[in-house]
Structure 1
């Protein structure tokens, strides 16, 4: 869920407040609108981040109103590492557990990498399952496949879960890594497009439970997983040649 506050100019009475609130609530991606006449503001809860011009379109048919983005929130939207605390914690725990799993055996980089990738996909799919519809809607705002096929967002968490299980059980390594590369490449292309367009889009990597903005952090995360999958493919290829 995305929560943002905007200034609204042009409201003069409670009739205006009710009219503005009703207009926002009628929008598919706005779940709640708290309009304040005294502060001339509106606090919106959105399932997907809407651009200012999209919000203005909601109001243009009900009166002469002007919306302005809250200055404090504009400043807050600048990159802050603390914003990604949930993501960093989840990855940190996966890293910790994958290292522990290799503690009593002779440490092998490829085995650790496989365990990490398995834990990554299972953990990340869990957060997506918490709000499957919300994730699907958010994912469709940037993933190049989900944009064209809405159903892809509904099955994507199942694909991640399947990949996680396949990595942990080392089932069909070549197929598993190939699928990983394909789905993450498609997602990364969409993420790069979103970041370059400078649109404020919610990152759906942890579903909609946490309000994580799209940024280069998401690109780095995806590229890291893609490189791991490519490394595994190369390792398996040379291993087969040697043996």
Structure 2
């Protein structure tokens, strides 16, 4: 039978060492396979092989893909070659908060169903906000130092008292947990009202008065979420929850 001239082939050079397998090499291989390529998968198994390959081809990194004998480049270059968008490392995105609030909403529905036998009641909203507070606090607690540093860019109280940035994640998480359980409202509600009130004023001033373009520390110190409407909404939700809980005392 005549050879299949439509077969697409590519050569991929990637690191596969005993102590390290390059993740971008695996991603390049997967991308090529999804594009219908047969791959000549060539492993660089030692540091010496990697250095020799880089020197031979005049490249600084691996993996490297060759299609029809022409070097395409690394994983990002391969994406561009196939017309796929490549997200800049420092580009802003709302994806983290969308994911967090979506999970919080689903958890609130699950808790409502478990506790009350129905997927939605007025308590669902309370659980949604309190669960969101806990999840947001957890993001900050992963690296309190980085959060506190980013927080200093816009929070008015933290700029006056630097240690406040280190206290905030514990207050938010603790208040959320107490509100979830519906206990010690006399403590959790004023605490949430205090931090959220300061937060709302700080965000409003930074974004809408000073017109500053900043990243929000709401989902941790490595956040790429822009400071703005979402950040303000987070604080307003906490304020609303605190006032509602206080009204029930």
TM-score range, shorter chain: 0.5 to 0.7
Q: What is the root-mean-square deviation of aligned Cα atoms in Å?
A: 2.1
2-side partners of 1:180 and 1:168: how far apart?
13
Listed as ranges, the matches of 1:127-142 within 5 Å are 127-142=139-154
Partner of 1:84: 94
Show CA shifts across 1:35-71 (max 9, x none).
xxxxxxxxxxxxxxxxxxxxxxxxxxxxxxxxxxxxx
2-side partners of 1:134 and 1:216: how far apart?
22
**Superposition deviation, residue 175 in structure 1:** 2.6
Please state whether the residue corresponding to 1:213 is helix, strand or coil: coil
* Matched residue count: 157
| Aligned 8 A contact 1:145 1:152 in 2 | yes
2:239 aligns with one of 209, 226, 240? 226
Q: Runs of 4 or more off by more than 3 Å in structure 1?
A: 106-110
**Superposition deviation, residue 116 in structure 1:** 2.0
Q: Which moved more, 1:85-94 or 1:211-220?
A: 211-220
Listed as ranges, the matches of 1:8-87 within 5 Å are 83-87=93-97
2-side partners of 1:212 and 1:126: how far apart?
16
Is 2:190 the counterpart of 1:178? yes
| Aligned 8 A contact 1:144 1:186 in 2 | yes
2-side partners of 1:137 and 1:210: how far apart?
12
**Cα 1:224–1:168, aligned 2, differ >3 Å: closer, same or farther?**
closer
| Aligned 8 A contact 1:130 1:209 in 2 | no
1:143 aligns with one of 146, 150, 155? 155
| Aligned 8 A contact 2:129 2:237 in 1 | no
1-side partners of 2:234 and 2:121: how far apart?
19
**Superposition deviation, residue 88 in structure 1:** 1.0
Partner of 1:6: none
Partner of 1:167: 179
Unmatched runs of 5 consecutive residues or more in structure 1: 1-75, 238-243
Is 2:215 the counterpart of 1:202? yes
Answer with 1 or 2: which has the greater Rg: 2
Unmatched runs of 5 consecutive residues or more in structure 2: 1-89
Show CA shifts across 1:171-215 (max 9, x none).
212331121111100011110011021212110000123211111
Please state whether the residue corresponding to 2:153 is helix, strand or coil: coil
The two structures have a TM-score, normalised by structure 1, of: 0.59
2:125 aligns with one of 113, 125, 146? 113
